[in-house]
Structure 1
Amino acid sequence: MKTSFKYISYFFLMILGLNLTLSSCTSDLDVTPKDDDEFLSETFFQDPASYKQVLAKLYSGLYVGGNDGDNKPDIAGIGGDFSSYLRLLFVMQEFTTDEAIIAWADGTLPTLNTQTWAPANEFLYGTYSRAFYEISLANEFLRQTSDDKLTSRGVDANLKAQIANFRAEARFLRAFSYVNLMDLFGNVPITTEKDPVGFFYPEQKSRAEVFAFIESELKDLDNSLVATKTNEYGRIDKTAAKFLLAKIYLNAKVYTGTERFNDAAKLSSDIIATSGYTFANVPYKFLFSADNNRNGSQSEVIFPVVSDGNAIRATGGGMSFILHASIGGSMDAAAQGMNGGWQGIRTRKEFVALFPDATATADKRGTFYTNGQTLSIANVGTFTNGYAVTKYTNVNSDGTAAQRNDIPDTDFPMFRLSDVYLMYAECAVRGAAGTDMTTALGYINKLRTRANASPVTTANLTLNFILDERGRELFWECHRRTDLIRFGKFTGGDKIWEWKGGTQNGAATASFRDLMPIPAKTIQANPTLKQNPGY
């Protein structure tokens, strides 16, 4: 069982079943939910508990696609299961790379496996719309919690202080969505609570301008977010903002044309030294089990997307999708703590080759299921082509059962300290000021020791090694596409994997695909938007 905030979040959605009234600047993006005068209205906010309930809606939107799980979707025209934020982020970050491939032929989904997507891709539209929906909700919450609004409602000083913390978290979650939009689509509009409510065309900003906005927000949030490790589990604190800032600095050359590795290294050092988050000295598999919120793994998880089999009714969202879809063939679904498999996600042989073996013998992180599976993928639509992955399980670390076998308890580790170790090491290899190769080596070997992998020496610390080690440590955690682009290996012919470019042996792809296209439906709704080059 998770924390009380978890239950506020999901029972609020299930019991009230409210639809949002958001007629703000994203109406032109066709992401406006059905109107309901009860929610986010003056009457609604007369209840002091309403403020935390809306914050809970913001957090729960990372997992579920609607107010009661998969049904009553937030976004018109997109099912609640297909429009789950975590599910769509996983699709974008993993299926487009060597780490994953999916057998399903739903709509334009296969083109994500092969880097042959087009602006009409409905999964790109879902991703774009989901991120802007979350931004729209955050903006409206910020409008409704201004000093003037709170004073007019007679909100007392104690509740105002809590709401100040809620506002900071809403701004962080808005920044998180902007990071994903900037990373995937580049030039996107920026809207805040200061923009007018009602239909208008928000101005498209350059990727560098979006970067500058996010950087400013995250720096400012260091003054308003709660102190590290003082929030309820599942809610973010100052360290989450520092992590996200370090992450955009790490990728700054991609986003703005200017390297910021010195800044990324400085923040990484600060998080490691002073945040209070500590390396989880537990078996690697504990980090991805059903009780990863309490088995020791939680000490290094800076930002989890929380799951709960009893509280969440979302069969197709978040971790439920990741676990169900990665089970098939001769796999025993019960061994993964689930009630069945959807015969979907596997990995590609080039990713398997990053590990010393496919049996998790010489590196415990190489959690592949090979029985009845072929290493090579002759047919993308056949689940048994390609090794399956058993990294995530809905089983407690002591082997006992989770609460349910249809919807998992396993939390998704969006940010964790191990990634900070890897960021520091990469910055050191790239020659960032203030870094030390001996320190970097210590961080890398700490990860490898936990995985029972052989230690390495400083001679091994090359950029190619860092990229491979990031894959071994962080695979299926929604980092791979971004990492490959930063290293210049996502498109082009420098790194080839099966079905890249649409052929089994793989082929070079055009560099313009480092950016996703602005979805065609979005441009139809807002003709002021300019499409990315190449599309």
Structure 2
Amino acid sequence: MKISFKYISYFFLFILGLSMTLTSCTDDLNVTPKDDDEFLSETFFQDPASYKQVLAKLYAGLYVGGNDGDGSADIAGLSGDFSSYLRLLFVTQEFTTDEAIIAWADGTLPTLNAQTWSPANEFLEGTFSRAFYHISVANEFLRQTTDEKLTARGVDATLKAEIATFRAEARFLRAFSYYNLMDLFGNVPITTENDPVGFFYPAQKSRAEVFAFVESELKDLDTGLAASKTNEYGRVDKAAAKFLLAQVYLNANVYVGTPKFNEAAALCKDIIDNSGYTFANVPYAYLFSADNNRNGAQSEVIFPIVSDGNAIRATGGGMSFIMHASIGGSMDAASRGMDGGWQGIRTRREFVNLFPDETATADKRGTFYTTGQAKDIANVGTFTDGYAVTKYINKNADGSAAQRNDIPDIDFPMFRLTDAYLMYAEATLRGATTGNITTALGYINQIRDRADAAPINAGQLTLDFILDERGRELFWECHRRTDLIRFGKFTGGSKIWQWKGGSVNGSATESYRDLMPIPARNIQANPTLKQNPGY
């Protein structure tokens, strides 16, 4: 049985009674009733339970794309399954890299495999719109929970104190969306609860301004979020804010041209030493099993995107998409704990070559399905071209069945303590005076020991090794695109993989593709937006 927070989110999806839609992606939230039987905001917030229900909507929105799973979409023109936040992050962070490729030829999806996308790409539009929708929900929640509004509604002091923590979590989730927008698109508008509700054109901000906003928010949240390890499972705490800020700092040279590796290393060390999250001394596979919220893996997961086969009914969203789409060929779906496969996602040969073998013998993390699969991808549209990946499994760690086989129970590990180990090591290698090479080496070998991989020595601990080790440890966890850009190997010709650039053996791509284009339809909705260079 999963924790109660999942059921709160499921409950909210069906009883909210609010149509939270955007007439354009740059409008703020328009909260209007679908019919006379549903609630207006003020009526809805008279119920003391409503505040946690809206918070649950924010968390559930990371997985599902609408108020009843796939059926009723949050965003006009984008289906609920298509516009799942986690699904779109996976599409943009993984399909564009050496870690994944998808066989489907839906719309402009093949251009993401090849790094040949354009501003007309509907998957980029979905990503842009989903993040701004999430921001809009957070903004409306913050508007509805000011001290003045709470006092006017007669909210007592105990609930007010709880709502103060809810507000901090909403601000974190808003910052998380701005981080993703900054990372993917660069220059984007900023809207907060202080902006008017309704149609207006928010001003586009520079990447540096978005960076400063996210940095300021995350620093400030250290006083508002719950102390580390004191919140409900599935909800963020102070460690999550520090972790996201460490990611921001690790990539600061990309975002604003100013290295902040000292700050990144210091934050990572603070998380490692003081957060209460601990490295999970369980087999690596436990981290990605159906019971990863309770099998010991949860000790290192700082920010999970919660999944639940019974409570979250979204066939095409989140982990359901990742699991179904990665099963095909001669794979037995039942052995993966699923009811079938969609013959979509595999990995590329260059990523397989990062491991010492293809059988997970010398490194337990190299979990590939090879039976009937060719290592080379001669035809992108053929699922059996390319090794399949079996990292995630919808079975409990002891092999017993999950709750259902159509929608998985696997929680997606958005932030893991292990990544703090890797970030600390990288920042130290990049010159952080707050880091220590011997300590960094110890962290890396702790990670490798869990995977039954051979330890390395100080001479082997290089930046190139760190990039490869990040791939081996964190693949299919929505980090690869950002990592490759930070190492200067996403575009250009310094790192080539099959079908990069659209050719079977790969080719160099244009450096301007380190930034995604502002989607054309979003520019149509807000003509004040300026397109990124090269597009």
Q: Same fold (TM over 0.5)?
A: yes
Distance 1:10 1:491 in 2: 40
Structure 1 residue 30: Cα displacement: 9.7
Structure 2: tracts of 5 or more residues without a match: none
Residue of structure 2 in register with 1:526 after alignment: 526
Whether 2:387 is the aligned partner of 1:402: answer: no
Residues 86-485 of structure 1: matches in 2 within 5 Å? 86-485=86-485
Residue of structure 2 in register with 1:52 after alignment: 52
Q: What RMSD over aligned residues (CA atoms) do the two structures have, in Å?
A: 1.3
Structure 1 residue 431: Cα displacement: 1.5
Structure 1 residue 20: Cα displacement: 2.9
Structure 1 residue 435: Cα displacement: 1.0
AA aligned opposite 2:443: Y
Residue of structure 2 in register with 1:64 after alignment: 64
Structure 1 residue 425: Cα displacement: 0.5
Residue of structure 2 in register with 1:507 after alignment: 507
Residue of structure 2 in register with 1:516 after alignment: 516
AA aligned opposite 1:390: T
Distance 1:131 1:480 in 2: 19
Contact persistence 1:17–1:68 (CA under 8 A): no
SS of residue paired to 1:71: coil
- Return closer, same or farther for 1:101/1:485 CA change in 2, 3 Å cut-off: same
- Return closer, same or farther for 1:22/1:328 CA change in 2, 3 Å cut-off: closer
AA aligned opposite 2:354: L
SS of residue paired to 1:415: strand
Distance 2:106 2:54 in 1: 33
Residue of structure 1 in register with 2:19 after alignment: 20
Structure 1 residue 36: Cα displacement: 3.6
Distance 2:221 2:390 in 1: 37
Distance 2:302 2:54 in 1: 22
Structure 1 residue 40: Cα displacement: 5.9
Show CA shifts across 1:453-478 (max 9, x none).
Answer: 00000101111000000000000000
Structure 1 residue 321: Cα displacement: 0.2
Show CA shifts across 1:377-422 (max 9, x none).
Answer: 0000000000000000000000000000000000000000000000
AA aligned opposite 2:376: S
- Return closer, same or farther for 1:27/1:456 CA change in 2, 3 Å cut-off: closer
Distance 1:299 1:18 in 2: 36
Structure 1 residue 428: Cα displacement: 1.3
SS of residue paired to 1:492: coil
SS of residue paired to 2:351: helix
Q: Percent identity?
A: 79
Contact persistence 1:20–1:40 (CA under 8 A): no
Whether 2:7 is the aligned partner of 1:7: answer: yes
Structure 1 residue 484: Cα displacement: 0.1
Structure 1 residue 19: Cα displacement: 3.5
Contact persistence 2:103–2:345 (CA under 8 A): yes
Contact persistence 1:280–1:296 (CA under 8 A): yes
Distance 1:504 1:524 in 2: 35
Distance 2:12 2:497 in 1: 44
Contact persistence 2:291–2:396 (CA under 8 A): yes
Structure 1: tracts of 5 or more residues without a match: none
AA aligned opposite 2:18: N
SS of residue paired to 1:222: helix
Structure 1 residue 17: Cα displacement: 6.0
Show CA shifts across 1:96-120 (max 9, x none).
Answer: 0000000000000000000000000
Distance 2:519 2:26 in 1: 13
Distance 2:283 2:271 in 1: 23
- Return closer, same or farther for 1:419/1:39 CA change in 2, 3 Å cut-off: farther
SS of residue paired to 2:19: coil
Distance 1:478 1:517 in 2: 19
TM-score under structure 1 normalisation? 0.98
Structure 1 residue 436: Cα displacement: 0.9
SS of residue paired to 2:354: coil
AA aligned opposite 1:142: L
Contact persistence 2:165–2:226 (CA under 8 A): yes
Count of residues in Structure 1 that have an aligned counterpart in Structure 2: 533
AA aligned opposite 1:159: L
Distance 1:86 1:435 in 2: 32
Contact persistence 2:26–2:132 (CA under 8 A): no
Distance 1:327 1:54 in 2: 35
Contact persistence 1:19–1:74 (CA under 8 A): no
- Return closer, same or farther for 1:158/1:31 CA change in 2, 3 Å cut-off: closer
